[in-house]
Amino acid sequence: MGWYATEFSGLAVNPPDVEGLLAWQFLKYNCSRWPAGRTTLRLRSVAYFEMAISKMKSVDSSNSIETPMNPNPEHLVWIKPGTFTMGSPIIEVDRLLNEGPPTQVKLSQGFWMSKFETNQTEYQSVIGTNPSYDKGDGNLPVEMVSWDDAINYCRKLAERERAVGLPAGYEYRLPTEAEWEYACRAGTTTRFGYGEDSGYAQLGDYAWYFSNSGNTTHPVGVKKPNAWGLYDMHGNVWEWCLDWYGDYLGGSMTDLRGSHAASNRVFRGGSWGGNGRGCRSAFRVGSWPGNRGNGIGFRSVLAPGR
Ligand SMILES: [Ca+2]
């Protein structure tokens, strides 16, 4: 099983898409502030949105194509395009062989990533059920979800958002494995997004894992975020990625995607039940897509469709 490089073939972020996205942001902003007046307000918003778009564009005149306005600043972080080294160097403490050879990956398109693991309130509101093993607080991450469940959630979330103006060129989906590690590292090359921490002395500040979790999940967003504002990238629940699990090939690749010819999907980041080693940025696991466990959840990204 190998890896292949491919260019995303979907819609580029062009000016019409940005306009649509700004309109969606405007509608959402107004609707969320006055949910009782949703319909009326939405109509009113539509009437004014052209004016709002021109206003927002002038605010974001630096480069609204590379860095679109954030449609949901409370929950999403813009992850800009860039290049990073995926996998770990052979000298990394507690490294495993499947983390190499290190592979240079260019991500040609930016995307929005959820700051948080998908929580149980969100999952319930989109799917209608809460399959989680540990319940009691809606802000706990959803678990007991298969890869297919996560995909289904993203699809239904996109349907719901399109009803309130999400442009057709955008989709919710899982991050690719490369996108996940790029976001987890947040510009670092160290074992963790906050530093090397070869003795796991600081990990408890950023992650719920075996040593501090009390053998259960914890509400998302409690520990410190990484430099790009993402919470729980280390620990709490494992996070399903879009890709099949495959071996790294090394070299340089653009928009790396997992192998076609594989049977396992990737999940990343460690969990409440695992050790510090498994929380490292480069640590990777593959599992059959139907696997539902109380240590596995996910977070979504919003990106141009492919
Ligand atoms: Ca996590």
Q: Could you tell me the distance, in angstroms and rounded to a whole number, from the CA of residue 261 to the centre of ligand 1?
A: 27
Q: Does 51 share its domain with 199?
A: no
Q: Does 171 share its domain with 110?
A: yes
Q: Does 198 share its domain with 289?
A: yes
CA 194 to each of CA 197, 226, 242: distance values in angstroms, whole numbers, following the listed order = 8, 6, 25
Residue 69 lies in a domain: no
Residue 47 lies in a domain: yes
d(Cα 193, Cα 251) in Å, to the nearest integer?
23
Place of tokens 């950023």: 206
Residue 67 lies in a domain: no
Q: Does 18 share its domain with 110?
A: no
Q: Does 163 share its domain with 281?
A: yes
Q: Could you tell me the distance, in angstroms and rounded to a whole number, from the CA of residue 187 to the centre of ligand 1?
A: 18
Partners of 86 in the β-ladder: 103
Residue 286 lies in a domain: yes
Average the pLDDT over 142-154 and give the result.
98
**Count: domains in the chain:** 2
Confidence tier at 25 by pLDDT (50, 70, 90)? low
Q: Does 158 share its domain with 254?
A: yes
Contact assessment for residue 36 and residue 47, using Cβ atoms and an 8 Å cutoff: no
Q: Does 150 share its domain with 19?
A: no
Residue 62 lies in a domain: no
Look up the CATH number of the domain holding residue 282: 3.90.1580.10
pLDDT, tens digit, 9 for 90 and up, residues 104-142: 999 999 999 999 999 999 999 999 999 999 999 999 999
Tokens of 180: 């996940």
Q: Does 115 share its domain with 224?
A: yes
Stated pTM of the model: 0.82
Average the pLDDT over 44-64 and give the result.
44
Q: Which amino acid is at 298?
A: F
Q: Does 128 share its domain with 188?
A: yes
Residue 219 lies in a domain: yes
d(Cα 142, Cα 92) in Å, to the nearest integer?
32
Q: Could you tell me the distance, in angstroms and rounded to a whole number, from the CA of residue 282 to the centre of ligand 1?
A: 13
Closest among 111, 135, 136, 138 to 122, alpha carbons compared: 138
Residue 61 lies in a domain: no
Q: Does 105 share its domain with 20?
A: no
17 vs 234, more confident: 234
Q: Taking the CB of residue 140, how many other CB atoms lie within 10 A of it?
A: 24
Q: Could you tell me the distance, in angstroms and rounded to a whole number, from the CA of residue 283 to the centre of ligand 1?
A: 12
Sign of the Cα torsion 218, 219, 225, 231 reads: positive
Residue 44 structural domain: 7-56
Q: Does 14 share its domain with 152?
A: no
What's residue 260's pLDDT? 73
Q: Could you tell me the distance, in angstroms and rounded to a whole number, from the CA of residue 41 to the centre of ligand 1?
A: 37
d(Cα 175, Cα 180) in Å, to the nearest integer?
6
pLDDT, tens digit, 9 for 90 and up, residues 199-244: 999 999 999 999 999 999 999 999 999 999 999 999 999 999 999 9
Q: Does 159 share its domain with 18?
A: no
